[in-house]
Structure 1
Amino acid sequence: MSGTRRVAVVVGNPKPESRTLAAATYVARELTGQDPDLVVDLAVLGTALLDWTDPTVAGLVEEVGDADLVVVASPTYKATYTGLLKLFLDRFATDGLSGVAVPLMLGAGSAHALAPELTLRPVLTEIGAIVVTPGLYVLDAAHDDPTAYVAWLDRVRPAVRHLHPTGANA
């Protein structure tokens, strides 16, 4: 897809079609004005994530690694991202992500609001991503409320627009 900006979403919720998935695709659309080109709902991969020779997982790692913008999302479990997401991110070399990454986490209460910054941002940086925006933490109960995202989106759109100059909202 030469010349086309690719947008990916990776979701580490162990439940398929989760609120985390809905939130991540919403954020990707709002940042770029387009639906993501690739959505990786890790829950549907099951035990394939444990098989380092699995060609499907290897292909997804390559596609995500080549994306220009990746929204990486997880529910908050024990103040950090899920083991499911960890299994996937462990597949990436230190230069495995070549684009901009946006850390997004959902949680039940505000006590873990720094989890995207303290746990997810460092691993995304370690695997090569450019993390130019603050991480986003959304309460589970507000995952489908656009007002839960407005202030953060207004703050980060200029940076994303600069690095990913496509889309109506970008």
Structure 2
Amino acid sequence: MSFVTLVGNPREGSRTRTVAERAAEVIAGRLGHPGERDVIDLAGLAPRLLDPQPPAEVREALERVVAAKVLLVASPTYKATYTGLLKVFLDRLKPEALAGVTALPILVMGDPKHSLAVETHLRPLLVELGATVPTPGLALLESDIAAPEEVLGRWADRVAPQIALTEGVTV
């Protein structure tokens, strides 16, 4: 199973990436597919994302996203939604480019008042691109980053069976 993690934090080595990689491990484990997963950290691509003709590394990242069976999309919450960096990258995709992809949205946030942003902003963007998006997305508070296991476990227990149905995998 092709499992790609897309990180939309403008800072390399971010806490968002750490959480996203751990969430991917937990979900992949629930699906019986532990092992290596592909990570695309947009912080490294940021300087080139707005080039009129995307350079090879941007095109290659877009191809990896489109080819994924499961795509975990993680962003910090900026201004009550996902980052502009993530939006710029996803805007490079054609309509329905994520058809056949199961996408898992995660937003990391400082305040619980933003917890609906994952469902009202990030999820609709992924659906617009054609992805199947199990519900719920994960709204992870920064206060849970130090020990996210309980939150990630509860979330994985809810979405893994939905992914399994979509992907024809036994959980």
* TM-score over 0.5 (shorter chain): yes
Whole-Å Cα distance in 1 between the matches of residues 47 and 63 of structure 2? 19
Q: Which residue of 2 aligns with 1:136?
A: 138
Judging changes above 3 Å, is the alpha-carbon distance between structure 1 residues 12 and 154 closer, same or farther for their aligned structure 2 residues?
same
SS at match of 1:94: coil
Between the aligned residues of both structures, percent identity stands at 40
* Alignment gaps of 5+ in structure 1: none
Letter in 2 for 1:152: W
Letter in 1 for 2:42: L
2:10 to 10, 14, 23: 14
Whole-Å Cα distance in 2 between the matches of residues 133 and 111 of structure 1? 19
Q: Compute the displacement of 1:148 (Å).
A: 2.2
> Normalising to structure 1: TM-score of the pair?
0.90
Letter in 1 for 2:70: L
Q: Compute the displacement of 1:15 (Å).
A: 0.8
Q: Which residue of 2 aligns with 1:149?
A: 152
Q: Compute the displacement of 1:44 (Å).
A: 1.1
Q: Compute the displacement of 1:142 (Å).
A: 1.0
Whole-Å Cα distance in 2 between the matches of residues 165 and 28 of structure 1? 18
Is 59-68 or 143-152 further displaced after alignment? Answer: 143-152
SS at match of 1:50: coil
Q: Which residue of 2 aligns with 1:63?
A: 64
The answer on whether the counterparts of 1:25 and 1:35 sit within 8 Å (CA) in structure 2 is no
> Normalising to structure 2: TM-score of the pair?
0.89
What do the CA deviations read for 1:78-129 (whole angstroms, capped 9, x no partner)?
1000000011010111111131000100000100000110000111011111
The answer on whether the counterparts of 2:26 and 2:152 sit within 8 Å (CA) in structure 1 is no
Q: Which residue of 2 aligns with 1:43?
A: 43
SS at match of 2:45: helix
Whole-Å Cα distance in 2 between the matches of residues 62 and 73 of structure 1? 18
Q: Compute the displacement of 1:165 (Å).
A: 5.2
